Chain A
Amino acid sequence: EAQVTQNPRYLITVTGKKLTVTCSQNMNHEYMSWYRQDPGLGLRQIYYSMNVEVTDKGDVPEGYKVSRKEKRNFPLILESPSPNQTSLYFCASSLGVTSYEQYFGPGTRLTVT
C-alpha cells in the first residue's frame, strides 16, 4: 500500500531532550516536506527536500533540523525542544518536479513540557 508513515504518533517530552520524528514513504517520491499545525495559525512549512541530500528551509525552520540521506526517509530533528514546539506535525511527499498532488502522513502530536 502506498503510504507515508510517521513515528511516533504521539510524544510527550521535556524541554531540552533531543528527539527525532521519523517520516518514510514507499512511493519513490522525490519531494518531501514537514509542516506544523497550530490553532489559529494553520499549517506552516518547516523544511522541505527536493531530493536526496537537497534540503531547504520553509517558513518556520527555527529550532528544527532535517536530513535526507535516503530517498524514502526524511526525519525531523529537534535538538533542544521547547514548549513553543508543542504542535501537530505532518510529513508530506510528492512524486517529482511537475507533480502537484501531495500525500500526507498520519501526523505526530508532540507535547513539550
Chain B
Amino acid sequence: AQTVTQSQPEMSVQEAETVTLSCTYDTSENNYYLFWYKQPPSRQMILVIRQEAYKQQNATENRFSVNFQKAAKSFSLKISDSQLGDTAMYFCAFMRSPTVNAGNNRKLIWGLGTSLGVNP
C-alpha cells in the first residue's frame, strides 16, 4: 500500500524568504502523480502544484517549485518570496496513474500536513 509522510508538522518563515517543505512516499508503482495542496484557514483545498512521475523535469508554478527525486521517493515543495497569504496547511498527496488499471486510480493518498506560518 502507498503511504505519504510529511515529517515537519509545523514550520515558520519570514516574509520574502524561502522555505522548503518535505514529503516522502512509498510505492511500488512506476507511474503516478504527486501533488501539493494548500488548505488556508477557510479550509478550502487548493491545488498548488503537481508532478507526473514520468517527467524528469521538476514542476514550477510561479513562486512554487518542487524537487522530485524519484529514486529517493522524495517530493519537496519550495516556496520562494514567501507572502503572508501563504500561511496555511500544506498537504502532499499521491495518486496512482489512472492508466494502470480499471480500479479506483484517482484516490488521493495524503500526508498529515505541514502547518506553515509566514511572519511579517
Contacts and interface: CB of A to CB of B under 8 A. Distances in A.
Nearest to A58: B107
Contact of A48 (B95, B99, B106, B113): B106
Contact of A45 (B50, B52, B91, B107): B107
Interface stretch (A13-21, A65-73, A75-83, A97-105): A97-105
Given A43-B108, A45-B107, A98-B99, A106 B50 contact: no
A60 B44 CA distance: 22
A101 B45 CA distance: 12
B44 A104 contact: yes
A19 B106 CA distance: 27
B104 interface: yes
A98 B50 CA distance: 15
A104 B45 contact: yes
Contact of B112 (A42, A48, A58, A90): A42
Contact of B50 (A33, A43, A100): A100
Q: How large is the interface on B (under 10, 10 to 19, 20 to 34, 35 or more residues)?
A: 20 to 34
Given A42-B112, A100-B33, A100-B95, A107 B45 contact: yes
Interface of B is mostly: loop
B7 to A, nearest CB: 14
Given A97-B98, A101-B50, A56 B45 contact: no
Given A99-B98, A100-B50, A107 B44 contact: yes
28 contacts: A35-B108, A42-B91, A42-B113, A43-B108, A45-B107, A45-B108, A48-B104, A50-B104, A56-B104, A58-B107, A59-B107, A90-B45, A92-B45, A97-B98, A98-B98, A98-B99, A99-B106, A100-B33, A100-B95, A100-B97, A100-B106, A102-B47, A102-B106, A102-B108, A104-B46, A106-B42, A107-B43, A109-B43
Interface of A: 31, 33, 35, 40-45, 48, 50, 56, 58-59, 88, 90, 92, 94, 97-102, 104, 106-107, 109
